[in-house]
Every structure is written in structure tokens, then in C-alpha cells.
Amino acid sequence: MERTIIHLNVADFAVAVERLLDRRLRRRPLVVAPEGAPRAVVYDMSEEAYATGVRKAMPLVRARRLCPDAEVRPPRVARYEQAMTDLVRRALAYSPRVEPGQGDGHLFVDVTGTSRLFGPAVDVAWRLGREIRRDTGLEPIWSVGPSKLIAKVATRLVKPRGEYIVGAGEEEAFLAPLPLELIPGLERRDLAGLQAFNLTRAGQVQRLHPDQLAVPFGRRAGFIFEAVHGVDPSPVLAAGEKPPEVRFVREFATDRNDVPGIEGALYGLAERAGRELRRRRLAARRVSVRLDYADGRRHGGRAAAATATADDAVLFALARGALQRAWQRRVRVRCVTLGCHGLTFPPAQLPLFAEERGAETRRRRLMDALDRIRDRFGAESIRVGRTLAAA
């Protein structure tokens, strides 16, 4: 069954709520920021302030120089959360799978298979938007698409008000003429790398093979390829549901900062995470490593896999890269945490060449054997030599 996702977006959400509370602020430049704080930054701004160059997270002092006529109001996060809860409650009348943003006016609603109850998805989106306008006074943009990525891009095109519909099978044609900056998930370094090859539109990148993208982008190539083609299998989470993840922690009896000990502990965590992923029949797209230092500070790093994996060795290789990003201090480490994120079903496609297939089969058999031994005799019954340094 083709997925059908509605994306609702109340543009400049904090500003919209403030204008509901005080009608005098309508059509005036408005900046939401904690005015009395010594290092205050912009929390949100109106379209009028945006047109003068004001941006989120900009120092308030600079925002005042760019837009001296702006009215400044302190953020009232509790009010924004209350308004967000009201939006979620209304959307839940049409689907149990409603995924809100972090109090930012964004809302995904999965209406796949609900047409017999509520009619076509377009009618649901129109009806939901009308109810929100009538009952709350907020003006939501909405779009309908076959995935979260496509629906979100569509609402970006019609901001600050409007609607957009993208049908299944139209993803590539829809994205092709658009600037790459509009595609969610593409990072600054991705855009800079593509710009270096004079690639500024999604359609230009669509013509490239993943192997060609892998030369400059390495592990990021797979994600970039899928993003510009509109491939996004990520589900819409139920309201209140946290994204699934696997997380393990190793706390040292004595604080340490030796490379063999830290990496040995990390390999042990990768083994535990791989075993848990295989037990759940899942694979991870991303890993994170967090270091808790003896002085109470905490640093972290992340790494993304070319393809989702539950292989201990591959997880450790990713985690080792994340560790290098997180380990920037000489202070002793008290605790190491490994997280696996972006969980999905393991990739079904096998390697093309016989040698690669044989190597993968041997690794899988080895991990299956290790899992059986540990299931029967305990997790410490068999260990890899690398982990002994962390004992």
C-alpha cells in the first residue's frame, strides 16, 4: 500500500502564537528573544523581520541593528507547547500516527489506509487545516506526499501560506528543479561539496550513480543519493513515541584516558549493540558515542553508515570514528556510551561479487556462532582480544 503523509506547518510558530495573544503585533516586525539575557539570541522572528536579515540563533544585539523597528517579546515556551498539544489533539481524530516537532508548529500525520473512514488524504488535510484556522486562529500550511521528506519539502515551497500535493511516483520529477538547500537532511558540508562540482539542483545530482557520489562523499553518498530521489522510508511515529534506539553504557571502575582501554570498552559496547540489533532483526544507520569526563563535562560524536548494519566490526568502525570526534580533551574518562539510531530492517540486497558474498557469509556465520555461545553460557563466555585492555 502506498504511504500517504500529511505535513502541517504553522510558519513562524512562536510569532503566530504571540500575535494571537496580542493582536497589535500583526503586520509589525516581531522578534521573539529573551531580551534581558546578556547573550540573548533570536528564538523566532516574523516574515517582516526575516526580510531584513534577522535569523534564528542570531545575537539579539545584531538583530536589533538589522531591524530597529522590531518589537521584541520574550519566548513563552509553555504557551507554545500548549498550542502544539492542541494541534496534535485535533490531528489524532484522523490518525493514531501523529508526529509533532519540538514545539515548532510542524506536524506529520500518516493517513495511509484511512480513506474509507475519512475520505481522500487531500480532503483530510483541507478539513484539518480549516478546523485549526476556525478553532485556534492559527494559519497552517499543508501538503500531502508519499513520504515525510517529500511532504516537508512541499510545505517549504508554499511558505508562509498555501498547500501542495505530490502523488506517488512523482518524487523525482517534483524534486528535480529544486535547489538542494530545500532537501531535509543535507548538511552544510554536503551542500559545499556538491557546490564545488557546480551541482546546485536536485535533478543534477539525480543523474549521478552512487559510486560516483562515493568518491567525494564516502559514507554520506548513499544518503545523498536517496534524498535527491525522494527516498525516505522513515515512519511517522505515534504521538509521544520516541524514535527507537539501542544504547549501552560502560562505566569504568577507575577513570582512564588510555587509547587501548577506551577503544576496548567501545568494542565491547559495539558487540552488545550488534547482538541486540540482531536479536530484534534490525540494523542501524547511525551511531553516536558520548564521553563523560571525570570533571563532569560531556562530549559526543556521531557517524553514519553507508548502509544500515548490525555487524559488530562495522559498528565498531563507525563508533571509532565518532569517538575521534568526541575525544578532544586530555581529562580522564569516567563513562562511555554507545547509541545506535535510525533503526530499520537489514538491507536485503546481497553484494554483487562472489568474493564479497563469501566474506559476508563468513562474518554472519561467525556472529551467529558467537551469539549462540553467549546465549547459552553468558555474555562473558567468549571475548575478543581487543576488549581485554578495558578489563
- Confirm whether 22 is domain-assigned: yes
Domain count, the chain: 3
pTM to 2 decimals?
0.66
The verdict on 367 and 305 lying in the same domain is: yes
Residue ending a domain, among 58, 77, 96, is 77
Look at 36 and 182; give whichever has higher pLDDT.
Answer: 182
- How sure is the predictor about 109, in pLDDT bands with cuts at 50, 70 and 90? very high
- How sure is the predictor about 338, in pLDDT bands with cuts at 50, 70 and 90? very high
For the cut 50, the answer to whether the pLDDT of residue 375 exceeds it is yes
Q: Cell 585492555 appears where?
A: 389
Residue ending a domain, among 161, 196, 228, is 228
- How sure is the predictor about 56, in pLDDT bands with cuts at 50, 70 and 90? confident
Give the chain's mean pLDDT: 86
Q: Cell 518589537 appears where?
A: 71
Mean local confidence (pLDDT), 268-274: 91
Q: What percent of the chain has pLDDT over 90?
A: 48
Q: Please, is 302 exposed, middle or buried when counting C-beta atoms within 10 Å of its C-beta (0-12, 13-18, 19+)? A: middle
- Reply yes or no: is the peptide bond before residue 160 cis, omega within 30 of 0: yes
Cβ neighbours of residue 241 closer than 8 Å, sequence gap 6 or more: 99
For the cut 60, the answer to whether the pLDDT of residue 350 exceeds it is no
- Confirm whether 107 is domain-assigned: no
Mean local confidence (pLDDT), 100-126: 90
For the cut 60, the answer to whether the pLDDT of residue 48 exceeds it is yes
- Confirm whether 202 is domain-assigned: yes
Q: Please, is 269 exposed, middle or buried when counting C-beta atoms within 10 Å of its C-beta (0-12, 13-18, 19+)? A: buried
Please state the φ and ψ torsions of residue 370, each to the nearest 5 degrees: -60, -40
Closest CA to 221 of 327, 305, 134: 305
- Confirm whether 145 is domain-assigned: no
- Confirm whether 186 is domain-assigned: yes
- Rounded CA-CA distance 357/6 in Å is 41
- Confirm whether 128 is domain-assigned: no
Start-to-end CA distance of the chain, whole Å, equals 51
- Confirm whether 367 is domain-assigned: yes
- Confirm whether 70 is domain-assigned: yes
CATH number at residue 214: 1.10.150.20
Q: In what order do the strands lie in the sheet with 5-10?
A: 98-100, 106-110, 5-10, 140-145, 163-165
- Rounded CA-CA distance 184/27 in Å is 29
Report pLDDT for 356: 59
Q: Where are the alpha helices (DSSP H) in the chain?
A: 13-21, 47-51, 60-66, 77-91, 115-118, 121-136, 148-158, 171-175, 188-196, 202-206, 210-217, 221-228, 259-280, 312-326, 354-377
* Domain range enclosing 33: 13-77
